């Protein structure tokens, strides 16, 4: 549950501390009618499940119009078109199967919402930015460190706004914990804990599912579904979500939640522009308990269970003056003492005033599309936290401690690990 700070509540708190802070209404995710010239036009790529959640949110925002759906499955194209047309009361939502055709034919679209399977997040984002689109993409945003570098460079080269869907960076309980750590209110913070998913393993399968008859291309474009990944026979379970836990398509139990929580932990440690330099292998199948050490000596510990929080996607920061923690379902964070929670509203208010950011992740993206400012989960934040995900995975795969150089973005004296920085990409889907 995300904590929504009302303007009235914020102003009353600010007055109480004799330090009134003026926050634009837009920073709280609100706004009036938008002139047609300022309308943000949106196209959707790969919408199902979580993607529908994002679509339901964005389609209701003032000043936004969804114009099209691009999906390799006809059933999903039809479902999204039906939903969008019903919302607007027309039949205008255009349908595309091929992302190349979609991007080439729609210069009228400002931004894209990407919610494909993991294997397509980076390629679709890069293709869209090269076509002049701003990008909101679900996590995990990359399958390799090399993909992350390409996303960062593409956003810079083409001047595009990019947001990855690590939405807890915009939710008040998590923001409070991050700010408590970052601003020194916990004293010197020595350790952060980051949640990894309590299912599957770090070592993923490389086996193929049984071959089934391939459907017509218009029903399921199997070649496009695979994208840059190695070819394998069609099986309907893949397109129904049965690709998780497969090396070609997934980032393991570490990436499933670490794509969120590593960014949260690194933000609180104020190391969002780098990655750990040391990864300590743990003798289990998940990475639970792995200690990742940054160059400044701070540590991030991977935790699979609920020792440090209740709920999913949690983070915790331990400092000289105590600890704070949050996870999904928290109306308020938890802390080692009530005193640490006493300035909850003040801490959140100061963050909003300092950054001008909405406490709503999608709204932050839309605001930045208009202002051209950096999003909270910008390409660098995404890439550095996902580099930590990938390096932790590689540590588990090779079953040895790793040293990583975050400047060169390579492993130190480890050719086996460096060969895993990238993966071969299949034509014609190379980025």
**pTM to 2 decimal places:** 0.90
CB atoms within 10 A of CB 155: 23
Pairing of strands 322-326, 315-319: antiparallel
pLDDT, average across residues 386-390: 98
pLDDT per position as a tens digit, 234-289: 999 999 999 999 999 999 999 999 999 999 999 999 999 999 999 999 999 999 99
pLDDT at 7: 35
121 or 2, which is more confident? 121
Coil vs helix vs strand at 330: coil
**CA distance linking residue 351 with residue 170, whole number of Å:** 11
pLDDT per position as a tens digit, 329-342: 999 999 999 999 99
Is the Cα dihedral 352, 355, 358, 360 positive or negative?
negative
pLDDT at 35: 55
**CA distance linking residue 134 with residue 158, whole number of Å:** 10
Structural contact between residues 165 and 137, judged by C-beta atoms closer than 8 angstroms: yes
pLDDT at 38: 77
Give residues with Cβ within 8 angstroms of 62, minimum separation 6.
31, 32, 33, 34
Structural contact between residues 388 and 34, judged by C-beta atoms closer than 8 angstroms: no
pLDDT, average across residues 130-138: 98
The token pair at 22 is 């003026």
* Residue 143 banded pLDDT, cuts 50, 70, 90: very high
pLDDT at 251: 98
**CA distance linking residue 400 with residue 279, whole number of Å:** 9
**CA distance linking residue 342 with residue 242, whole number of Å:** 45
pLDDT at 3: 33
pLDDT exceeds cutoff 70 at 27? no
Structural contact between residues 377 and 169, judged by C-beta atoms closer than 8 angstroms: yes
**CA distance linking residue 120 with residue 112, whole number of Å:** 14
Domain assignments of the chain as residue spans, ordered by start: 7-167
Give residues with Cβ within 8 angstroms of 250, minimum separation 6.
118, 204, 243, 244, 256
**Could you tell me the fold of the domain covering 7-167?**
Rossmann fold (3.40.50)
**CA distance linking residue 253 with residue 200, whole number of Å:** 6
Give strand pairing partners of 111. Answer: 42, 134
Burial state string for 412-425 with b = 16 or more CB within 10 A and e = fewer than 16? eebeebeebbebeb
**CA distance linking residue 206 with residue 397, whole number of Å:** 13
Maximum separation of any 2 CA atoms in the chain, in Å: 70
pLDDT per position as a tens digit, 147-176: 999 999 999 999 999 999 999 999 999 999
pLDDT at 4: 37
pLDDT exceeds cutoff 90 at 296? yes
């Amino acid at each position: 549950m995300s904590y929504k700070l009302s303007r009235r509540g914020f102003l009353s708190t600010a007055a109480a501390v004799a330090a009134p802070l003026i926050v634009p209404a837009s920073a709280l995710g609100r706004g009036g009618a938008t002139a047609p010239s300022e309308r943000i036009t949106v196209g959707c790529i790969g919408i199902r499940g979580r993607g529908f959640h994002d679509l339901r949110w964005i389609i209701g925002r003032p000043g936004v119009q969804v114009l099209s759906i691009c999906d390799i499955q006809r059933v999903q194209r039809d479902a999204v078109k039906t939903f969008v047309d019903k919302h607007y009361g027309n039949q205008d939502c255009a349908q595309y199967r091929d992302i190349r055709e979609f991007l080439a034919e729609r210069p009228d679209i400002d931004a894209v919402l990407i919610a494909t399977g993991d294997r397509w997040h980076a390629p679709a984002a890069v293709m869209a930015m090269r076509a002049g689109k701003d990008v909101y993409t679900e996590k995990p945003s990359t399958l390799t460190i090399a993909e992350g570098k390409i996303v960062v460079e593409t956003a810079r080269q083409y001047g595009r706004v990019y947001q990855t869907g690590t939405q807890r960076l915009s939710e008040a309980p998590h923001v409070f914990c991050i700010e408590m750590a970052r601003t020194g209110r916990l004293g010197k913070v020595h350790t952060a804990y980051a949640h990894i998913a309590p299912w599957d393993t770090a070592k993923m399968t490389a086996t193929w599912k049984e071959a089934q008859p391939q459907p017509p291309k218009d029903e399921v474009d199997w070649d496009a579904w695979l994208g840059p990944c190695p070819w394998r026979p069609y099986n309907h379970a893949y397109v129904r979500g049965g690709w998780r836990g497969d090396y070609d398509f997934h980032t393991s139990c570490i990436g499933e939640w670490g794509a969120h929580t590593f960014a949260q932990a690194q933000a609180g440690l104020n190391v969002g522009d780098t990655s750990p330099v040391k990864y300590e292998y743990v003798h289990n199948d998940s990475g639970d308990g792995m200690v990742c050490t940054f160059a400044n000596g701070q540590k991030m510990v991977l935790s699979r269970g609920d020792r440090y929080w209740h709920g999913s996607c949690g983070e915790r920061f331990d400092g000289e003056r105590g600890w704070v923690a949050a996870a999904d379902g928290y109306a308020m964070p938890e802390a080692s003492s009530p005193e640490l929670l006493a300035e909850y509203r003040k801490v959140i208010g100061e963050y909003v005033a300092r950054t001008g950011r909405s406490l709503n992740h999608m709204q932050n993206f839309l605001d930045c599309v208009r202002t051209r400012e950096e999003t909270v989960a910008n390409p660098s934040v995404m890439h550095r936290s996902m580099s930590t995900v990938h390096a932790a995975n590689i540590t588990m795969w090779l079953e040895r401690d790793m040293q990583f150089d975050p400047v060169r973005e390579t492993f130190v004296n480890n050719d086996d690990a460096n060969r895993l920085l990238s993966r071969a990409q299949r034509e014609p889907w190379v980025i």
